[in-house]
Amino acid sequence: MHPWLSRLLLILLVLGGRAVLALEGVPGPDGLVVSASRPASEVGGAVLAAGGNAVDAAVATGFALAVTYPAAGNIGGGGFMIVRLPDGSATSFDFRETAPAAARPDMFLDDRGEIDPDRIEAGYLAVGVPGTVRGLALAHARLGRLPWRDLVEPAARLARDGFPISPTLAAALNRELAGPMQPFPGSLTAYGKPDGLPWLAGDQLVLADLAATLEAIAADGSDAFYTGRIAGLLAEAMAAHGGLITLADLAGYAARERPPVRGRFLGHEVISMGPPSSGGTALLQMLGMFEALGLERLAADSGEAIHLTTEIRRRAYLDRAKFLGDPDFVTMPGDQLLSRPYLKHLAAGIDRERATDSRQLAGDLVGPPCDESDETTHYSIVDAAGMAVATTVTLEGSYGSHVVAPGTGFLLNNEMGDFNRKPGQTTLSGEIGTLPNQIAPAKRMLSSMTPTIVTKDGRVVLVTGSPGGRTIINTVFDVITGVVARGLDGSAAVAAPRFHHQWLPDRLIVERGGLAPDVRRQLEALGHAVIERGSQGAAHSIWLDPQTGTPLGIADQRGPDAAAAAAPLPAVIGESSQ
């Protein structure tokens, strides 16, 4: 038995047949990386041990995830990074994908004017101009300390030498190869097992083209991706297969540094991602309404608390649909949406005895009559000096568009589907057709990613975020209220059952077994349509233990391969069980 096993406390929460194993947090006084993949966390931990700061570790972990966590780790997609510096200042990096110049608002409609899901879920047309490589390069140029090459090289090495795959990754690759990747020869070449047999857990996955791509990026910087040989291969494949992205789209892509959104919540400061993510704005709205209603005084699992938090979620998601989009294209009432009087006004409209009808709440927004997919990945980092980084990246769907352009070695996103797909059509099933998130050339599609840092008295107390499409904001809200309002420790807040309401469709979704039967009956009597689901999100977090002042890494056990790595190595001591 590993010596560290004795340090782990296994909390077994049996939730209606769903077993969630949560580890006690992994201590990391000298810095910590918590991500969806053990080898990627180890890469970040090694960078911290080598004197890199949290941004260096975030860059290295990001590239490593593109190798070891291909469902969502990426260089062919995008994401957001929040950085909080030891002096209390904070910034954010927006490397969200953009629509290519040839994109049009109706590009996902078929001949009858209906949304064609096939064009959105897979294939070249679904791909937005990738932002990750420019974004990581911008963050590094602004705040990194170690040489760029040293941060990209570990990922290139993992791709070149290979790494043993987990049972989860083996099964996912076999599903991809037999299904969604079939139409794309570049994907089959990149991810097929050389002998043509199915992958088995423990097999060594070598990604030769990806290694060459990463080596070029390590040597020549982000230009290798956006104007060099890789750009040429991408544009060529796009032109040959009905995609829109051109050399000019790639050369014109720019990541942006933006001020994060910041707000107060019960004596804490919450720092999160502003537009083009809806995450931070909606999160701060929900926390503001929570505080206005004094919900910290209610038991979290009571019918009253769940009813009122559901009403809060409903109202924030409606504002998301009405107002939010790419700030470079859309004028938004940002400050007003987060003002105390406005949030008090929203909270005052909540009926304590009755669920609000989402359609009525929206006025004339909803016309006559989708689930978002569940793949993205979040990682959290702190370094010894107290710099904290929260990063969420995505290809949108699991394995994105399922396309690897021949010779490039990496998966491309299908992020274009995050735009509103049919102008003017907002439906009870959750399709949104409002103007702010309509497709336009070079525009960023609205996101729900919510990388977030919470501080108190000038110290970081929580770094968190999650995958999960529109559920992300609710997951982050649940984790933060668990720690800040309920006084849970970080592990318990991450393990606690999660809830989701997104205005439309008008239903309250609960992790299976997360509601006591009598509370469910109470909620249904108030008018909520309650639905159970499997797990929601994967909030790989860092929480500062107030007793000891030590940061603890919490790998959310909803992500089967997640791990925390503490610096200095080799103290890699957190790992989830299958």
**Residues with active-site annotation:** 376
Q: Among the candidate windows 353-361, 431-439, 466-474, 522-530, which touches ligand DON by CB under 6 A?
A: 466-474
Site membership for ligand DON, residue 475 (CB under 6 A) = no
Site membership for ligand DON, residue 506 (CB under 6 A) = no
* Phi, psi for 436 (deg, rounded to 5): -55, -30
Residue 543 CB, shortest distance to ligand DON, in Å, is 22
Identify residues 441-460 at the interface with ligand DON (CB under 6 A).
447-449
**Complex with ligand DON: residue 437 or 455, whichever CB lies closer:** 437
Site membership for ligand DON, residue 375 (CB under 6 A) = yes
Tally of CA atoms within 13 A in the half-sphere of 36 that contains its CB: 31
Site membership for ligand DON, residue 373 (CB under 6 A) = yes
Site membership for ligand DON, residue 468 (CB under 6 A) = yes
Residue 102 CB, shortest distance to ligand DON, in Å, is 21
C-alpha closest to that of 451 among 569, 308, 274 = 274
Residue type, 247: L
Residue 449 CB, shortest distance to ligand DON, in Å, is 5
**Complex with ligand DON: residue 430 or 468, whichever CB lies closer:** 468
**Complex with ligand DON: residue 49 or 472, whichever CB lies closer:** 472
Residues 6+ apart with CB under 8 A from 396: 77, 126, 373, 375, 376, 413, 414, 415, 417, 418
Which residues pair with residue 464 across a beta bridge?
452
Residue 2 CB, shortest distance to ligand DON, in Å, is 31
Residues 6+ apart with CB under 8 A from 278: 320, 324, 446, 447, 448, 473
Site membership for ligand DON, residue 556 (CB under 6 A) = no
Site membership for ligand DON, residue 539 (CB under 6 A) = no
**Complex with ligand DON: residue 31 or 77, whichever CB lies closer:** 77
| The one among 39, 52, 62, 469 contacting ligand DON by CB under 6 A | 469
By CB under 6 A, how many residues form the interface with ligand DON?
15
**Complex with ligand DON: residue 166 or 447, whichever CB lies closer:** 447
Q: Per-residue string for binding with ligand DON, 380-409, x by CB under 6 A?
A: --------------x-x-------------
Site membership for ligand DON, residue 316 (CB under 6 A) = no
Residues 6+ apart with CB under 8 A from 325: 275, 276, 332, 435, 436, 437, 438, 443, 446
Residue type, 432: I
Residue 448 CB, shortest distance to ligand DON, in Å, is 4
Alpha-carbon separation of residue 354 from 52, 84, 297, 490, 506 (angstroms)? 53, 41, 20, 32, 14
Residue 94 CB, shortest distance to ligand DON, in Å, is 12
| The one among 153, 269, 374, 478 contacting ligand DON by CB under 6 A | 374
For 383-447, give the DSSP string. ETT--EEEEEEE-SSTTTTS-B-TTT-SBPP-GGGGSBSSTT---TTS----GGGB--TTPBPPB
d(CA 76, CA 338): 33
Site membership for ligand DON, residue 94 (CB under 6 A) = no
Residue 85 CB, shortest distance to ligand DON, in Å, is 26
Q: Among the candidate windows 198-206, 422-430, 465-473, 539-547, which touches ligand DON by CB under 6 A?
A: 465-473
- DSSP single-letter state for residue 309: H
Residue 554 CB, shortest distance to ligand DON, in Å, is 18
Tell me which H or E stretch contains 473: helix 471-480
Q: List the alpha helices (DSSP H) in 294-388.
A: 303-323, 334-337, 340-348, 358-361
Site membership for ligand DON, residue 376 (CB under 6 A) = yes
For 253-304, give the DSSP string. ---EEEPPEEEEETTEEEEE--TTBSHHHHHHHHHHHHHHHTGGGS-TTSHH
d(CA 52, CA 60): 10
Residues 6+ apart with CB under 8 A from 70: 169, 173, 191, 399, 411
**Complex with ligand DON: residue 396 or 478, whichever CB lies closer:** 396
**Complex with ligand DON: residue 282 or 463, whichever CB lies closer:** 282
Site membership for ligand DON, residue 467 (CB under 6 A) = yes
Residue 418 CB, shortest distance to ligand DON, in Å, is 5
**Complex with ligand DON: residue 36 or 165, whichever CB lies closer:** 36
**Complex with ligand DON: residue 263 or 559, whichever CB lies closer:** 559
Residues 6+ apart with CB under 8 A from 53: 143, 144, 145, 383, 385, 387
Which residues of this protein are in contact with ligand DON, per CB under 6 A?
373-376, 394, 396, 415, 418, 447-449, 467-469, 472
